[in-house]
Structure formats: structure tokens, C-alpha cells
Amino acid sequence: MNISIIQQEIIWGDKAHNLKTFGDTLRSLFGKTDVAILPEMFSTGFSVDKPELSESTEGEAISLIKQLAKEGNLAIAGSFMAAENGKSYNRGFFCCPDGRIEFADKRHLFIGDEQKFFSPGNKHLDITYNGVKFRLLICFDLRFPIWARNKSGNDYDVLIYTANWPKSRIDAWDALTIARAIENQAYVAAVNAIGKDSYSVEHCGHSVIIDPRGKILASLEDFESGVRSIDLDLDHLEHVRTRLPFSKSNDDFTII
């Protein structure tokens, strides 16, 4: 299975622009990849102080994602600003080309306006696509290893992070993405945005794909716009887990 990470600028609050530019990039991947991953809130940027930009799962952002997944015969993952029952959510999605789509909301809302305007989620987005198990988490979730824990050792094969992680704390992003791969013996595909948000906070990228032993397989640099793709080696994943079955020593826990 080929997996692609897309790092490019989001124009904060300009939904029409972002849907066009990310749509163009996704179309360029038709026939070249099986899974494409977008940054957090790809259609609006981290405009959490503008809940009026939120939309339903039948809105223009997800409608476009479904259309492109079908046309390009690829799965697409990311997050968007969702509205439901009078509340706003940072909602992750994984959309398959046959129209199957799974959603889950960001559990750990960032300190400040995201906590003020948005509601947290309480479930994982776990999905199997073409025989590969994925889990999708969102940005600040990266700092909470229990929420990402590959508890059985076989909960997922690929851990996706979709993010708007700021340049000022990018060292933490670099360290924690590697840590999540090593401790969970899983591939990590972490996609960060570039550009400035509505608070004038810079986001510099460092999107990355990491193997289950912590080796960086593909990456994008500071403020680089582009796509990186790799073929997942599931035999390598199985070898790592079988040779060193660390999950058998996992501590038991319950999340409430």
C-alpha cells in the first residue's frame, strides 16, 4: 500500500481557496497513491474563533472529499470544522473510495479558544482499509500517549496525526512523532500545515512518515510545500512485532 502526506499552506478562514488548492493536489495523486493525508482543518485552517465556518458532514468539504476519493480511487484522511446539534467539533475523517467514511472528534482540545468554542470527542477513529489498520488522531492528541496506545499490539498498523502544530514547539512534534512510532511499534504518518493562522502563529511543517522502529522514511522541511509518498512494508512491521513482542508487557488501563 502506498501512502502520501500532503504539506501545503492553508489560508486561514478562506474555505473556497483551500478546497481548490487541496483539491488540485489530491487530483495530482490520482493513480499514484492509495491513501492521502491532509493537515488538520484543511478547509479553514485553525480558525477556532470562527465557529461559523463549521459545517455538517454533508457540507462542501466532506462532499468534495467523497467525490475525489471516488474519482481517484484513493482513501483521504484529515480533519475539518464540523457542526452538529449546535456545537462545533474538530472532526477527523477517513474516507474510502467506495463512499465508506468514518469520523471521530479530537479528544484533547488545545488550551484557549479551541476549548472555548469546540466540544471534545470521546472515541477513536479506527478503520481497516485494504487490509491495513489505521487510527487517526488530531494535533494536540500527540502529547497524550495513552490515547494513542496500541494496547493489544495489533489495534492498528498506521497511526495518523493530522495537525496545525506551531513552529515555536516544533521540537516537541519531532520528538513525539518518533516516540509514538517506537512505543506502539507502528508506522506513524504525521502531517502538519505551513503558514500563519488567524492568531498570526506560524506553522512550519515537518510532516513525516516513520517506521515502527523510529526510522524516518519520508519528510518535508521548514515551510516546504509538497507531497511525500512511500510503500508501507507490512512484512517489516510484522517482523518487528514478532521478534520483539513488547505489547505483551503492556500495562492494563481503562480510559474514562
Query: What's the grid cell of residue 211?
Result: 517506521
Measured between alpha carbons, how far is 175 from 155 in angstroms, rounded to an integer? 23
Residues whose CB is less than 8 angstroms from the CB of residue 201 and which lie 6 or more positions away in sequence, other chains included: 166, 167, 168
Per-residue pLDDT of the chain (256 residues; tens, 9 = 90+): 999 999 999 999 999 999 999 999 999 999 999 999 999 999 999 888 888 899 999 999 999 999 999 999 999 999 999 999 999 999 999 999 999 999 999 999 999 999 999 999 999 999 999 999 999 999 999 999 999 999 999 999 999 999 999 999 999 999 999 999 999 999 999 999 999 887 789 999 999 999 999 999 999 999 999 999 999 999 999 999 999 999 988 988 888 7
State the catalytic residues.
40, 106, 139
The whole-number pLDDT of residue 196 equals 86
Which residues is 210 bridged to in the sheet? 188, 216
Q: For the whole prediction, is pTM greater than 0.75?
A: yes
Can you state the percent helix, strand and coil of the chain, rounding each to 5?
30, 30, 40
Task: State the SS3 of 183-239.
Answer: HHCCEEEEEECEEECCCCCEEEECCEEECCCCCEEEECCECCCEEEEEECCHHHHHH
The whole-number pLDDT of residue 47 equals 87
Reference 56, options 99, 88, 97; nearest CA is: 88
Query: What's the grid cell of residue 178?
Result: 518518533
The whole-number pLDDT of residue 144 equals 98
The whole-number pLDDT of residue 219 equals 98
Query: What's the grid cell of residue 186?
Result: 507502528
Query: What's the grid cell of residue 222?
Result: 521548514
The whole-number pLDDT of residue 197 equals 81
Strands 194-196 and 202-204 come out as antiparallel
Reference 81, options 122, 40, 128, 110; nearest CA is: 40
